[in-house]
Structures are given as structure tokens and as C-alpha cells.
Amino acid sequence: MTEQAARHLRIVVPPAAWTAAMEDGSVQVPGLTWETAAHIAHAPERFVATREQAYDVGENGLRRYIIDLLDGAPPTAIPVFFSREYMHRNLLVREDSPLSGLADLAGKRIGSRLTVVSGTGAAVLMMLEQAYGVDLLSLKLHMDVGRFPTNRMGLDMQPGPETDDVALSQLLGGDLDAVIMTTGPRYYSLFGGDGIDDVVAAHPGLRTLVTEPDVIVDAYRRTGLYPISDVVVLRRELVDEAPEAPAQLVDAFSRANALAGRHRDADEQRMADRELALLDRDPYGYELGPDQRLNLKAYTDFFYRMGAIERPLEPEELFVPSTLP
């Protein structure tokens, strides 16, 4: 493909250090040019933009994407994962709560404006069960169901609060024991300094249930679980018309990820360095390696056990074949 015939792409990326090199021209691909939309902070809104605004490259929630595949759509995802979360610091409790860890949530009333099958909602429940042995049938879940064909687990669910403010009011009023909220991605979900800390600061009488990074790292070391709830997806026509593009984009995003340090301030870089030192490994490779395979399979299987998808898929079934070894 000549430079004059370069294919131009519209790409949605999070406003993050690990995608910034896609914006400033540091990363280039022969035969491709692009413009990036990096103004959408929240992943669900990026999912909507990807679907509705004709972007060539964007994101989708794993469950929604699997439903599309089960409905007969061809794979359009590439093994690039922008915004993983440890799914520990997502739970708020009252400051005077006797609860001290995730295992203490057994039998408790948990509420959220998030649905049970949302990326965060389902991933938190998976961590409770698989990292802390919480019997999910013991929970009283005040969370909306969402698109939930069947309740295979027999979870105790009832409609939840419509907004975060209502959920926090119910928590402070004693109607709930804990509330699930979203956190920041990657090291923010380990150390804090994100939106959930702002929520706590604005609501005296609340605290995050888990604050110690060592507790979160211990769960990762014991289980290998670091949920992947979102995947990068391509427009179907791009996959069909430019079969070389999926692998090229994996490489481009990988190079941008490697250049993230250029776009972090000193505090953020300290968090990034400390995270890798605690983990003793880098979980952020854009590939279908052992870490990614374990987490995709665990989460997909959990969705099936919940009843949120009709059958589980193997990790290899999720991605454009040319992006796999």
C-alpha cells in the first residue's frame, strides 16, 4: 500500500499514559494513519461511542462482545487490554463497619447502581468467590439484573439503587452493608488516587473496605486473577478489507504501552514502578499469554455459571486469528 493510499482510521482510546503515544505521533504504522478520540474517560461510554459513532477501533465489554459472537458475529477483537482492575478497592463500607476484608462480606447486603453482569459488578463477585471463598448464594444483592437470560447460580437479587448517590445514602442509612463502585485502572486500582477516593472524601462516614496493596497483591499471587473485563475491537469491515491491520494494531498499541513512562508525571511513575516491583512481573502485555488466558477463561466461565451467556468460549475464539501465535 503506498503512502498516498494509506488507510485512515478513527480510534477511541482512554485518556491514559499507555495510549498517549498513539496520539502524539510517537507510534506510526506504514500504510495506516489515524485520529484518536481520547476524551471519553469512562469505559462504558467508550463502548457506546465505538458502537454508535462509526469508529474503526474502540472497546467493548467482554460479556457484550461474547454475546455478539454467540449470535454469529465473526471475531473482531485483538488481544489488547487497556483498563484492567484488581477489583478489590471497589467496595465501600461505613467507617464504623466491623468488616475488615472481602471474606467478611459473606451473608451481607451489597448494593450498586451497576448491574450484576456489568464488567465491574461481575468481576467483583468473581473475586469474592474465587479469591476469598465467599459463598455467593449467601449474599443479598441489591443490583439490577441487566441482560441476564437465566440465573443459573440462584443468586439472591433484587432491584438496586438507580444512582451512586442513592446507593451511598442507603449505605450510610444502614440499609446496605457495602456498595460496589468503579475505580481507576491498573495501578490506580491498587494504590488509589482515583475517583473512589474522591467519593470517600465527599462522604464522611465511609471508607474503602480494602486499602492495603499487599492484600491485593497476595490475592493475585495466590490465584493469578486480575480480571480482563474489556477488549479492544475493530470495525468488521476493517478486518475484512485490511487483513494485515489487526496484527499491526496489536504491535502499535504494544509500542505505545512501552512508551507510557514518557507520559506519566512523577507520582504516577512511582505507582507504576511500585506495582511491578510488588507483582514481580508485568501483567500488561498485549498478547494471549498464560496470564491473559487464565483471566479471560475464568471470567468467561464465571459469566456462563451466572447465566449471563449461553455457553463459555475458549480464549482463542475471542480474537481475530491473525493476532494469535
Q: What is the pLDDT of residues 219-266, one digit of tens each?
A: 999 999 999 999 999 999 999 999 999 999 999 999 999 999 999 999
**Residue 23: Cβ within 10 Å count:** 18
Q: What percent of the chain has pLDDT over 90?
A: 92
* Mean pLDDT across 268-281: 97
What share of the chain in percent tops pLDDT 70? Answer: 99
148/101 same-domain check: yes
Please give the distance of CA 262 from its chain centroid, rounded to a whole number: 24
pLDDT band at 4 (very low <50, low <70, confident <90, very high): low
The Cα-based distances of 184 to 43, 83, 197, 308 in angstroms read 10, 8, 10, 25
pLDDT of res. 43: 87
Q: Are residues 257 and 152 in the same domain?
A: no
Kindly state whether residues 12 and 41 are assigned to the same domain.
yes
pLDDT one-digit tens code per residue, 142-153:
998 877 778 999
Radius of gyration of the chain, Cα coordinates, nearest whole angstrom: 20
Q: Are residues 103 and 167 in the same domain?
A: yes
What pLDDT is stored for residue 155 in this prediction? 96
Lowest average pLDDT, out of 33-42, 69-78, 315-324, goes to: 33-42
Question: Looking at the predicted structure, is the pLDDT value of residue 48 above 80?
Answer: yes
C-alpha cell at 288: 494471549
Q: Compute the mean pLDDT over every residue in the chain, rounded to the nearest whole number.
A: 96
| 253 and 195 housed in the same domain | no
Residues 314 and 250 in one domain: yes
Strands (E) across 175-266 are located at: 178-180, 206-208, 230-234
| pLDDT (0 to 100) of residue 51 | 87
Please enumerate in sequence order all residues whose Cβ is within 8 A of that of 100, keeping only pairs 6 or more positions apart, or say none. Answer: 209
Same domain, 299 and 214: no
What is the DSSP secondary structure assignment for residue 190, as one 8-state letter? H
Mean pLDDT of 259-284: 97
- Indicate which CATH number applies to the domain containing 145: 3.40.190.10
Count of structural domains within the chain: 2
Shared domain for 238 and 290, answered yes or no, is: yes
Do 130 and 242 lie in one domain? The reply is no
Q: Are 50 and 156 in contact (CB under 8 A)?
A: no
Separation of alpha carbons 88 and 98, rounded Å: 17
What average pLDDT score do residues 46-69 get? 94
Q: What pLDDT score does 180 carry?
A: 98
Q: What is the pLDDT of residue 2?
A: 45
148 and 166 both lie in a single domain: yes
In whole angstroms, give the CA distance from residue 121 to residue 133.
Answer: 17
pLDDT at 145: 84
Q: How do residues 120-175 score in pLDDT, each as one tens digit?
A: 999 999 999 999 999 999 999 999 887 777 899 999 999 999 999 999 999 999 99
Mean pLDDT, residues 176-204 taken together = 95
Give the start-end residues of each E strand in 13-85: 32-37, 57-61, 77-78
| Domain coverage including residue 46 | 3-84+228-323
Same domain, 103 and 213: yes
Domain shared by 71 and 97, yes or no: no
Q: Pick the last residue of a domain from 197, 223, 249.
A: 223
Question: Which residue, 223, 238, 266, sits at the end of a domain?
Answer: 223
Last residue of a domain, one of 223, 244, 264: 223
Whether the CA torsion 317, 319, 322, 323 is positive or negative: it is: negative
Count of other CB atoms within 10 angstroms of residue 267: 10
Q: What is the pLDDT of residue 44?
A: 87
